[in-house]
Structure 1
Amino acid sequence: MLKNVGLLDDSDTLERSMAAVAAAISDFSRVKILCALMDGRAWTATELSVVADITSSTTSAHLSRLVSGNLITCLSQGRHRYYRLAGKDIAELLEKMMSISWHRISPVKTRIPSLLRIARTCYDHLAGEVAVEIYDFMVSEGWFNVDGISITLEGRKQFQQLGIVFDPKTRRKECCACLDWSERRFHLGGYAGAAFLIHCEQKGWLTRTQGFREVNITSDGKRAFKKLFNVGV
C-alpha cells in the first residue's frame, strides 16, 4: 500500500510543477514585469518597479518569486543586477497566453496600439504585421520545409544572399513558425528569426527603443522589405 502511495506521489510531479508555474504568473504585477521583459533585454529592479508601478520592496519580492519559479534569471554585473526571461520557451509561453487572452477581450472595449501591431519584438525575433507578411513570403518562396522547422537549400541560399550565415554549432531549433498573438498567423521564430532581427538592426532597416517592444521601420527598411519580400509598410 505504501509503495502505491509513493507511485501516486511521483505521478503528481508534473501537475504540481504546472501549478507552481501558474501560481508564479498569477499576480498582475508579475505579469506586467514578464511582459516588459518580452523585449528580450535585461532590466534592473528599479526599471521594472517603474513599469509595474509598484514599490521597490514589492518589486524585489515579485522578482524573487519569478526567479525561484525559473521564469526569469538574475545577472550580476559589477554593483548592478539585471533581470531577463529565463529563455525562449518562457517567451513562447507568454506569447501564447497573450494570444489566448486577446481572443477573450471585446474589440469594442480595447484595441491593440497601432505601432505595436505593425512591428514589435517577440523576445529575440520580429513580430507583428510586417513579420507575418515577411514569413508568408518566405514560405511561398520555399525557404522552409513542409514541417516548418528546417530550412531548404533554397532558403539557405536566400539567407546567405541577405548576409545571414547560420552557426552550425547552435543547439537551438533552426527555425519555427511562431504564432503571432495580434495577427493570429505565424511569424519566423527560432535561430533564423533571431538572426534575421539582428541582421535588420545591423542594416539599419529598423530601430528599437530601450524598454519598449515596438519596432520602428526606417525608410531604408521600408524600401528593403518592399524589394526583398514584397511587403509594404
Structure 2
Amino acid sequence: SPAPPSAGRPRQPPRRSLPPSHGTPSALREARTCYDPLAGELAVGVFARMLDAGWIEQEGRTLRLRATGEAGLARLGIDLGEVRRRRRQFACACPDWSERKPHLGGALGAALLEACLRQGWLRPQDGSRALQVSSKGRAGLRGLAERTAG
C-alpha cells in the first residue's frame, strides 16, 4: 500500500500566533465588540496581562479564574456570582481576528465589557462594533492586571 502523503515530510511545529491583520480599520482595531465581549488590541493586551499576572490560567481555549483575578475583577465592579449564573461558558480564550491572538471570551469577557462601559472607559459607536475609548479607559485597560498583591 502506498505511504500517506505526509510520510517522509518533517512535521512543522504549530504556529503560536499570526501577525496582526493590517487590513483592519483602525476604529475596529483598537477596541470593538466580539458579539458581547470586548475585542481588539486593548482586549488582547488585557488578556495577556491577566495571564502574566496569574489572574487566569489557560488550558487550550478553557480558562480558570484564580483568586487574584477574582479580587481584581471585583474591584472593577464585576459580580462574579452573577456572571457564573449566566447560561453560557464562563470564560474562554477567544481568537481575535484583527490581532490574531486571544481576548477574553464567554460570560466573563462580556462582564468585562459591561464594566468598562459603566466606568465610562468605552462608548459604543452608532451602527458599528467599534468602541470609542476615553483617555481614562485607555489608561485603565492598559493598567488592568499590571500589579498584583501576590
TM-score over 0.5 for the pair: yes
Higher RCO (CA < 8 A, seq sep 6+): 2
Which of 24, 30, 53 aligns to 1:141? It is 53
The yes-or-no answer on 1:160 pairing with 2:74 is yes
1:115 match: 27
1:58-82, Cα deviation, whole Å (9 max, x unpaired): xxxxxxxxxxxxxxxxxxxxxxxxx
- Could you tell me how far apart the structure 2 residues matched to 1:157 and 1:229 are? 10
What secondary structure does 1:188 align onto?
Answer: strand
Q: 1:182 aligns with which of 98, 112, 118?
A: 98
Offset of 1:150 from its aligned partner?
2.2
Report how far residue 226 of structure 1 moved.
Answer: 3.5
Q: 1:118·1:129 contact (CA, 8 Å) conserved in 2?
A: yes
Contact kept in structure 2, 1:149 and 1:173, CA below 8 Å: no
2:65 corresponds to which letter in structure 1? I
Larger radius of gyration: 1
Structure 1 regions of 5+ residues with no counterpart?
Answer: 1-101
May I ask how many residue pairs the two structures share in their alignment? 123
Where does structure 2 lack aligned partners over 5 or more consecutive residues? 1-19
Once the two structures are superposed, the pairs formed by residues 6-21 of structure 1 within 5 Å of their partners are none
3-state SS of paired residue (2:74): helix
User: Partner of 1:207: helix, strand, or coil?
Assistant: strand
State the 4+ residue runs in structure 1 displaced beyond 4 angstroms.
none
Question: How many angstroms apart in 2 are the aligned matches of 1:113 and 1:223?
Answer: 22
Match of 2:16 in 1: none
Between the two proteins, what is the percent identity of the paired residues? 41
Tell me how far apart the structure 1 counterparts of residues 35 and 50 of structure 2 sit (CA, whole Å).
Answer: 21
Cα distance in structure 1, aligned partners of 2:85 and 2:141 = 29
Partners of 1:189 and 1:226 in 2: how far apart? 18
1:221 aligns with 2:133: no
Q: TM-score, normalised by structure 2?
A: 0.74
Deviation at 1:229, TM superposition (A): 4.5
Q: Deviations over 1:135-183 (max 9, x none)?
A: 1000111111232422112211111122111214223211100000111
* 1:132 matched to 2:44: yes
Distance 2:26 2:125 in 1: 16
Q: Structure 2: which amino acid aligns with 1:216?
A: Q
In terms of fraction of residues, the more helix-rich structure is 1
Structure 1 residue 121: Cα displacement: 0.8
Looking at structure 2, the residues matched to 130 and 115 of structure 1 have their Cα atoms a distance apart, in angstroms, of: 12
RMSD: 1.9
Q: Is the 2:28–2:40 contact (alpha carbons within 8 Å) kept by the matching residues of 1?
A: yes
> In the alignment, is residue 200 of structure 1 matched against residue 112 of structure 2?
no
Per the normalisation by structure 1, the TM-score is 0.49
